[in-house]
Each structure stands twice: as structure tokens, then as C-alpha cells.
Chain A
Amino acid sequence: MSTATYSTDRPPNVSGASLEPQAAVARHPLDTCADDVIKVLRDDGSLDPAHDPKLAPSEVIALYRAMVRVRQLDERLVALQRQGRIGFHIGSLGEEAAVLGSVSATRPQDWVFPCYREFGAALWRGLPLQRYIDNMFGNANDTVKGRQMPDHYTYREGHFGSVSSPIGTQITQAVGFAWAAKLRRDELATLVYFGDGATSSSDFHSALNFAGVFKVPVVFFCRNNGWAISVPTERQTSSNTFACKGVAYGVPAVRVDGNDLFAVVKVARDAIARAARGEGATLIEAMTYRLSGHSTSDDPKAYRPDAWLDPWRRLDPIERLRRHLERTQGWTEAQDREIEVAVDAEVKACIAVSEKVAPPSLDSMFEDVYAEPPWHLVEQREQLKAGPRPKGHGGR
């Protein structure tokens, strides 16, 4: 292809521009196409002062507790599914620092648009555990009325969106939400979660493009956990990083050690501060690893040998944080045991309550399709109620 086509009466188009030196593209200090990954927490539990978010000791303990609680919940919910008492669970084993570190950077006025692996973020923003467990059972107290699979909750009061299963759809919505706040001159940031697989969805590209063009106060948080069910990252992209995709859209990006709580807090706070200053969107790629299957419906043995997990087990975010606590606060096994017992008790109590609650009513199946049920739904509801019940009605 000749460059002459672009030389005369109009500026080069994108393919023409690629022939120009790269210096023509303005780089934000947070842009990273290189392999640099922001880290704070060292192997020995000490912190690198360069990016230290300077968390108070009590904040570190609160986050540690939250991470341990989420992991314990994960284990308990997987067990419940294996026992046939709930239908499904999708967890965040190994990704606790990525989830808790990022959400802890949000301020009360900020909003969170979840993927489906961030129940830890919902709990951090105040979702009552009982309400979460009711969702796991899909019972009459479930605020989404048993209409969705477990782990598809909402929590408006905590500025936490609605979980859906399609990949990437929440990313454009988060942009629209943050954009609306900007149009209304309200100072708040919107944090949106997604996995590495979602960067292949059209919504990811539309969202980054819109956010770049309209300078939207949104934080794109990509949990790069290595896997989209069975498909590894090298099958999602041939880019060196996911972060570098931000550059194409004029969205500054940063890569962070996703198993390093302090580093995640730091980059998430910086991104929210940028949004708050009216400087627009940031893309964060958090390097972490999905230690479990995709969900309780997945068996990872079919596509990855267990040995592959060993390096990541050594980088376990909870273990690393514990080493820091041992070093700085003299953390003991007794204190761990205390957390374990407390979480176990609250989880057991919630499960005992949820399990006794009846299934949602037949009427509830027809509510909320529209604000008011139209004639055809009224007709179908009455036909259903007058008819026979199936085997295992409302059963689990």
C-alpha cells in the first residue's frame, strides 16, 4: 500500500496514521503498553512506599476480614450446591484482593456495576448477608423473587447494580450511567467489573469508545483471571496486555497485581480521583487467577492440570495479606480462628433461615414484567393458577 494516497488534500485516516511515528499519539502517564505491573506488597509482607495507599491498620484488618469472609462463603456455597441444597454458585476464589481492594476505593456516592463474580463487593457496600443467602436459595424473601439463578442479585440501596449473565452488557450501561451523572453535574464515579473474556465483547469496545469520546467518569475494572470458562487469555487477544486496549480509545490504562490488596486499592483510588476531577475514564487490568472452576457447573480438570495453579497458590492474596499482618500487627492464628468461627456462625444462621422460607408465589412470576400486568399476562396468570402443579413445585 502506498502512502501517497494520504498525502495530499486531507489528513491521513487511521491506516495512514499508522505509518507515522508513534510519538504522534499523546500518552497519559497512566498509559501502559509495557509489561509494567504496579505492585506494593512484597513477598516478605513489607510495602513498597512508591505506590503505598497508606491504609490505616484498622482498614487493613477490615479488608482482610472481608476477604476471608468471602472465601469462607465461597467454600460453604460450593458445598451447599454439591449437597443439592442450592442450584448454583459462581465465586471469586483467588480474586478476593481484586474485588475487595477495588470496591473499598469507592466512596458512598459512587456506584458499582457488577459482573457476576463480585458478591464480595456487594457485601462490602452493605448487602445484608441474609439477603444474599436468600438470593442463593431463590426463596420468597429473595428481593429478585427467585427469578434469576443464584448470584444474580441487586442492591440499589448500596449503589450496586443488577447482575445479568450476558457478558459485557453492563460495561456500556455503566458508561451511560456515569455519563448521565456527568450531564446532571453530580460528582460521582461508576466502577464497572468484567473479566478478561468480556474484553472480546462488542460492549467492551463500544463502552471504552463512548467513555473516551465523552470523557465519562467511569472506572473499567478488568479482572484478568486467566480464563473465560475453559478459554485462556491468549485465545481472547493477541495484544500484549488487556490494558493496552485503552490506548486505542484514548482511555488511560494501568496494570496492577490483582492479588496485592494495596496495589489494587492504590490504582482504584487513583482512577476514582481522576474521574472525580473530571478527567474521564481509566481502564484497570488486575492480574489475578481463577483458582476455582468457572462456576459450580464447570470442571476445570478437563482443560487445565492442577499443577498450573501452584504458582498462583503461592501468590494467594489472602496468604500474602496475612504475612503483612503478621509482620506489622503481630497477627496470630487465634485471630484467624476468631474470624472463621464468627463467619461460620453468621453463615449457618442465614442458611437456616433461608432454607425454611417458602418459594415465591405463582403471582410473583407475572409481576414486574411491566409496571402493570396487561390483559394477556392476567389471562395467563389465571390459567396457570387454575391448572395443575408440576412435580417438585417450587422445589430445589
Chain B
Amino acid sequence: MPQMNMVQAINDALRHEMRRDSRVVVLGEDVGKVGGVFRVTQGLFDEFGDDRVIDTPLSENGIVGAAIGMALYGLVPIPEIQFADFIYPAYDQIVSELAKYRYRSGGEYPSKLVIRTPVGGGIRGGHYHSQSPEAQFIHVPGLKVVCPSNPADAKGLLLSSIRDPDPVLFFEPKRIYRAAKGDVPDGDYTVPLGQAKVVRPGWHVTLVVWGAMLYEALDAANQAAAQGIECEVIDLRTLWPLDIDTVIESVKRTGRFIVVHEAPKSCGLGAELVALVNEKAFLHLEAPPLRITGFDTPFPYTLENEYLPLSHRILPAILEMARY
């Protein structure tokens, strides 16, 4: 199996599917000749031409609106939004149109596409190249939201997202685009949507996490293990609809639940997870559930390592919860 980083794995998935399915087109700002500002679409323009790898005008609502129209025609568009921070001009198209098309047409017009976009902090990008807006899409009925943490999952989840009948927001954690490396299966390889992965089995505390923060949670879990506390670390992978069974089964065994995410704390996906744990495993809890997250401030530039829920903030939470 070849070793790849996240960028190479996503590129491999796009190339594989574009070869397999002529309906697949990639469009967005700088995705063509230059291969994207992160080079995720590098080489696709040369192989598939500008009918299928399309540099567009700088207009996110134009990109997504046109992609919806292409999908209605029967293509499978994969628009790239250069940074998730710039997705808001397209928010109306995503929320009012894409998410509701199947429903509002009584199933007559499914509108299937995958929006790829880099998310998260850790690249010294300030407010506008660092945010994690997953909750703003999870709150919209009709959308699926995916966030891989490693190259193999990035390929497998992207291929599943493209073949899934529903619209998918595919969030790529840019902090680990090149830092996360690993074996990636050749050829056709899918990872089912809606299945979390237990990355580290444990029995004292359940840690639910996704994307780049997985590695921080694992680091904290390993440090906790040195003190005799074994954490179960769950990589959520599909953020919505999430794998409730894996989460609740784990919490019922550990009785302790921590969720970690980069996005602001209030009304984040962590809040929903805590609510679900309370609804479904309340009588198993040994301690109040905890959220270790970004703060309810805009994403800061200089102090980004203070803002992010890195292992130095996760470890004390684990220890405190274990001793509760």
C-alpha cells in the first residue's frame, strides 16, 4: 500500500472517481491549472481537461448555485470552497436550496453534490483561514457532514461521500493536510458514512473527537495512561448523522464523557453530543460530561495555540474527570 498524506489521498480519491464516473466534475477558485491553493486537485486539469476541472470566477454563491444546477442536470459536481471561512456567500444556496431540494420537490429533484473545503486552525491563518463551521451545517436538515482525520479515511470517506445520494459537506482539516501520513489502499476503497472508529480502546473515560484534534486527544490519552487512566478515543469521522451507537455504548462502559472540538463552545456539535449522552446514558454517568473546545471568540491569530483545545487542555480534563 502506498504511503500518502491527506492531500495526496484526497487527490487520489478524486482522480479515481473521475476516471470511473464521467459525470464527476470539479469546480472552484484556482482548482484548475494551479491545482488548488493546497494542491489537492493538482494534475486533474491535465488529465481531465477544463470541461471537468473548472477554474471559476471568484464567487462562492455562483460556484455552489451553478453546482446545484449541474447536479439537477445529472452531473456529480464537487465544488471546492477555498477555505470554509469563505463559504458564507454560498450559505443561502446550501441551506435554502441544496439541503431542501429533495424534500421540497417531494423527491422529484434530488440535488447531489459534495462540497469540499479546508477547515480548522493551526496554520496561523487568523479569523478567516481557521474556523470550524460544522455546527452551522449540522443544524440544517438534509445535509451530511464529514471530517476525516487520516489519509486512508480521507480517501475512503470522500469516495463514499461522492457515491452517497445526499449532499455532503466534506471538511478537510488543513492543519494535518501534510502532517498526517499513512498507508492508503490502492484503487477503489470506501469507508462507510455514519460509522465512527474506536482509535484507542479504554475503559475509564470516553473521548469523542474528529479531524486534526484527534492527534491532540491521543497525545493526552497517552499521557493519562502513564498515570493509569485508560481513555477510549473515538474518531467520529461522519459528524452528521453521527454514529450514536458507538458513542453511547462506550459511555455506558466508561461512565465518563469528554468531547473535544476546535469550534466555539456554545451550540457546537459538542453541545449536541452532551445532550445526546444525557438523554441516552444519563444513569450510567459517573461525572458531568465535559466540552474541551475553542472559545466563544473569533479565532485569534497570535494566540491560536491558546484558543485551540490542544493536549495541554485535554489532559487535565481527563485527570479531573477520572478523579471525580
Which residues of A pack against B, CB within 8 Å? 113, 142-145, 147-148, 152, 154, 156, 161-162, 164, 166, 169, 171-181, 183-184, 202-203, 206-207, 209-210, 213, 367-371, 374-376
Which residues on the B side are within 8 Å of A210 (C-beta)? 56-57, 59, 62, 66
Which residues on the A side are within 8 Å of B144 (C-beta)? 370
**In the complex the two chains form, what is the Cα distance from A209 to B66 in whole Å?**
11
* A169 and B142 in contact, given A154-B109, A376-B241 (Cβ under 8 angstroms): no
Tell whether B97 is near chain A: CB-to-CB under 8 Å.
yes
A166 touches B97 (CB 8 A): yes
* A166 and B96 in contact, given A368-B107, A370-B166 (Cβ under 8 angstroms): yes
Seed contacts A144-B106, A164-B97, A371-B166; 18 additional CB < 8 Å A-B pairs: A143-B108, A144-B108, A162-B104, A162-B108, A172-B66, A172-B69, A173-B72, A176-B67, A176-B69, A178-B69, A179-B69, A180-B75, A184-B75, A206-B65, A207-B65, A368-B106, A369-B142, A374-B241
Specify which of B62, B67, B107 is in contact with A209 (CB 8 Å cutoff): B62
- The smallest C-beta distance from B174 to any residue of chain A, in angstroms, reads 26
**In the complex the two chains form, what is the Cα distance from A370 to B96 in whole Å?**
15
Can you pick out 20 interface pairs between chain A and chain B where the beta carbons lie within 8 Å of each other?
A145-B106, A154-B105, A161-B72, A164-B96, A169-B92, A172-B65, A172-B93, A173-B68, A175-B66, A177-B72, A202-B89, A207-B62, A207-B65, A209-B59, A210-B57, A213-B57, A370-B102, A370-B142, A371-B102, A376-B244
Tally of contact residues, B, Cβ under 8 A: 46
Which residues on the A side are within 8 Å of B107 (C-beta)? 367-368
**In the complex the two chains form, what is the Cα distance from A202 to B65 in whole Å?**
11
A180 touches B104 (CB 8 A): no
Which residues on the A side are within 8 Å of B67 (C-beta)? 176
Which residues on the B side are within 8 Å of A183 (C-beta)? 25, 51-52, 70, 75
**In the complex the two chains form, what is the Cα distance from A183 to B74 in whole Å?**
11
- The smallest C-beta distance from B271 to any residue of chain A, in angstroms, reads 15
Which residues on the A side are within 8 Å of B105 (C-beta)? 144, 154, 156, 162
Which residues on the A side are within 8 Å of B73 (C-beta)? 176-177, 180-181, 184
* A144 and B104 in contact, given A173-B69, A180-B69 (Cβ under 8 angstroms): yes
**In the complex the two chains form, what is the Cα distance from A213 to B89 in whole Å?**
20
Tell whether B300 is near chain A: CB-to-CB under 8 Å.
no
Which residues on the A side are within 8 Å of B68 (C-beta)? 172-173, 176
Q: Which of B65, B109, B165, B241 has the most CB of A within 10 A?
A: B65
Q: Which of B69, B77, B96, B104 has the most CB of A within 10 A?
A: B69
B92 touches A175 (CB 8 A): no
Which residues on the A side are within 8 Å of B25 (C-beta)? 183
Which residues on the A side are within 8 Å of B102 (C-beta)? 368-371
Which residues on the B side are within 8 Å of A173 (C-beta)? 65-66, 68-69, 72, 93, 97
**In the complex the two chains form, what is the Cα distance from A142 to B105 in whole Å?**
10
| B65 nearest CB neighbor, chain A only | A172
Tell whether B100 is near chain A: CB-to-CB under 8 Å.
yes
**In the complex the two chains form, what is the Cα distance from A213 to B97 in whole Å?**
24
What per-residue 1/0 map shows which CB atoms of B78-118 lie under 8 Å from chain A? 00000000000100110011001111111111100000000
Which residues on the B side are within 8 Å of A184 (C-beta)? 73-75
**In the complex the two chains form, what is the Cα distance from A63 to B51 in whole Å?**
40
Which residues on the B side are within 8 Å of A166 (C-beta)? 92, 96-97
A203 touches B166 (CB 8 A): no
- The smallest C-beta distance from A88 to any residue of chain B, in angstroms, reads 15
**In the complex the two chains form, what is the Cα distance from A371 to B165 in whole Å?**
6
- The smallest C-beta distance from A150 to any residue of chain B, in angstroms, reads 13
Tell whether B194 is near chain A: CB-to-CB under 8 Å.
yes
A169 touches B194 (CB 8 A): no
B61 touches A156 (CB 8 A): no
B70 touches A203 (CB 8 A): no
Which residues on the B side are within 8 Å of A145 (C-beta)? 106
| A174 nearest CB neighbor, chain B only | B69
Which residues on the B side are within 8 Å of A161 (C-beta)? 72, 109
Which residues on the A side are within 8 Å of B77 (C-beta)? 176
- The smallest C-beta distance from B9 to any residue of chain A, in angstroms, reads 26
**In the complex the two chains form, what is the Cα distance from A247 to B57 in whole Å?**
17
Interface hits, B157-209 → A, CB 8 Å? 164-166, 194
**In the complex the two chains form, what is the Cα distance from A213 to B141 in whole Å?**
34
A177 touches B109 (CB 8 A): no
* A176 and B109 in contact, given A164-B96, A183-B25 (Cβ under 8 angstroms): no
